[in-house]
């Protein structure tokens, strides 16, 4: 048995080699860049108007109106002292523009423009290079692409990005009692649900599974199922069959498939019978079958590995501290990831902390970490991961 810290360190310390690939811009969300990026040109590339209004030459309150420039116009316009042109947001400002006045502060009659106030030099002009100058560092390698990053890369004209590949994931669920939702079931059977939680959590963080297999509680079937799954993945996530029951064949089947154990059993609640192993460059997590344990272990342990394999520098869910709404004492005898709800800045530990209780987890939005024996008074800070 290892502690939570030892288990997390074992995952973080794995030596891995990252693969890279080129991704179209519209498929690159959530990938980490595999090269540094510099600006190929100034952004903006030309002085342009921040407003719909008038481009002015010189500082006056009355101008001669001499024309119009719209966004996208490429004709060269040049102003003389005392002249103004109608201009629109994003349009290139004419040569000799001193300022742009927003249209709400103007009145135009025939060829005369009157301003409600004196303009100021440079007002409402977005300067060439105001965001980035040519050659400037934009992103370091390993930057994880969020939506504004995609916009920035697009504005640099880049349509293909060099990124680190994401791992290929396969899922195996085990259990004679499991029936696929939508299919008829008999007495003693239950619907298989863990794979939906896992594939949902994968999608939540920009991953997806490649293959999903349901296996009966049989040693030969488990061994064969693991062998097949290992043929086509970087990370294999198994649910159930890793405990100490007579029908738990996963651990032995992993050994027979040449997977080396890195840790088995973590001193925590839920999710004590968690297994982590490695075969060459492939990794295996065997998650306890109880639904809340399995998903909790995904968030705490599997996610950091998937992100590390994707080239992320910061992995796992961020821990935030929130004051607890009511006093709480952890009497479970193990450090616990508790199903919790953060409402209006306060954390409430939910009823239904059992390892099988997915309904409380489904209604909450966080895992609150409370140490073994820890006693919390109302208002004490609790470390929470938002799920």
- Contact positions vs ligand AMP (CB under 6 A): 173, 175, 177-178, 190, 192-195, 239-241, 243, 245, 288-291
> Token pair for residue 74?
């490429």
> Token pair for residue 238?
């198994």
Say whether residue 175 binds Mg ion (CB under 5 A): yes
Helix locations, the chain, DSSP H = 4-12, 147-155, 194-204, 219-230, 250-256, 291-297, 303-309, 358-363
Of 152 and 178, the one with the shorter C-beta distance to ligand AMP is 178
Binding positions for Mg ion, 226-265, rule CB under 5 A: 240-241
Contact of residue 364 among ligand AMP, Mg ion, none (CB under 5-8 Å per partner type): none
Of 94 and 175, the one with the shorter C-beta distance to Mg ion is 175
Closest distance between Mg ion and the C-beta of residue 289, in Å? 5
Residue 129 backbone zone (phi > 0: left; psi -120 to 50: alpha; other: beta): left
> Token pair for residue 148?
């504004």
Contact of residue 243 among ligand AMP, Mg ion, none (CB under 5-8 Å per partner type): ligand AMP
Contact of residue 335 among ligand AMP, Mg ion, none (CB under 5-8 Å per partner type): none
Of 247 and 332, the one with the shorter C-beta distance to Mg ion is 247
Number of residues that bind Mg ion (CB under 5 A): 4
Which residue's entry shows tokens 């992320």? 312
Of 167 and 241, the one with the shorter C-beta distance to ligand AMP is 241
Closest distance between ligand AMP and the C-beta of residue 36, in Å? 43
Which residue, among 242, 268, 84, 261, has the nearest Cα to 172 in the 3D structure? 242
Of 195 and 353, the one with the shorter C-beta distance to ligand AMP is 195
> Token pair for residue 336?
């616990």
Closest distance between ligand AMP and the C-beta of residue 296, in Å? 13
Burial code (b: 16+ CB inside 10 Å, e: under 16) for 305-324 equals: bbbbbbbbeebbbeeeebeb
Of 170 and 194, the one with the shorter C-beta distance to ligand AMP is 194
Say whether residue 304 binds Mg ion (CB under 5 A): no
Q: How far is CA 103 from CA 28, 62, 67, 88, 314, in A?
A: 40, 14, 15, 10, 47
Closest distance between ligand AMP and the C-beta of residue 352, in Å? 15
Q: Rg for the chain (alpha carbons), in Å?
A: 30
65 and 82 in contact (C-beta within 8 Å)? no
Give the binding site for Mg ion (CB under 5 A): 175, 240-241, 289
């Amino acid at each position: 048995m290892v502690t939570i810290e030892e288990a997390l360190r074992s995952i973080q310390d794995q030596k891995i080699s990252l693969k890279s690939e080129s991704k179209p811009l519209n498929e690159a969300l959530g990938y980490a860049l595999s090269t540094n990026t510099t600006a190929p040109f100034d952004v903006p590339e030309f002085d342009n108007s921040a407003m719909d209004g008038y481009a002015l030459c010189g500082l006056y309150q009355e101008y001669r109106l001499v024309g119009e420039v719209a966004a996208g116009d490429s004709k060269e316009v040049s102003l003389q002292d005392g002249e103004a042109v109608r201009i629109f947001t994003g349009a290139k400002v004419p040569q000799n523009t001193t300022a742009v006045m927003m249209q709400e502060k103007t009145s135009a009659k025939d060829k005369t423009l009157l301003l409600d106030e004196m303009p100021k030099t440079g007002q409402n002009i977005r300067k060439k290079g105001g965001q980035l100058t040519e050659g400037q560092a934009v992103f370091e390698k390993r930057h994880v692409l969020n939506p504004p990053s995609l916009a920035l890369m697009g504005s640099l004209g880049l349509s293909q990005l060099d990124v680190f590949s994401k791992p290929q994931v396969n899922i195996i669920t085990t259990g004679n009692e499991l029936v696929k939702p939508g299919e008829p079931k008999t007495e003693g059977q239950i619907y298989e649900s863990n794979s939906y939680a896992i594939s949902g959590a994968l999608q939540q963080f920009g991953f997806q599974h490649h293959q999903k297999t349901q296996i009966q509680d049989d040693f030969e079937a488990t061994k064969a199922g693991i062998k097949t799954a290992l043929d086509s993945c970087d990370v294999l996530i198994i649910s159930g069959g890793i405990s100490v029951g007579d029908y738990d064949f996963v651990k032995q089947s992993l050994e027979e498939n040449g997977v080396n154990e890195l840790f088995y059993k973590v001193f925590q609640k839920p999710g004590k019978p968690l297994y982590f192993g490695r075969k060459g460059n492939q990794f295996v997590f065997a998650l306890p079958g109880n639904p809340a344990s399995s998903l909790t272990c995904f968030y705490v342990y599997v996610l950091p590995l998937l992100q590390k394999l994707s080239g992320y520098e910061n992995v796992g869910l961020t821990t935030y501290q929130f004051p607890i709404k009511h006093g709480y004492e952890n009497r479970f005898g193990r450090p616990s990831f508790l199903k919790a709800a953060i409402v209006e800045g306060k954390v409430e530990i939910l009823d239904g902390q059992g390892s099988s209780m997915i309904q409380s987890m489904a209604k909450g939005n966080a895992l609150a970490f409370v140490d073994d024996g820890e006693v919390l008074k109302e208002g004490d800070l609790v470390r929470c991961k938002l799920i």
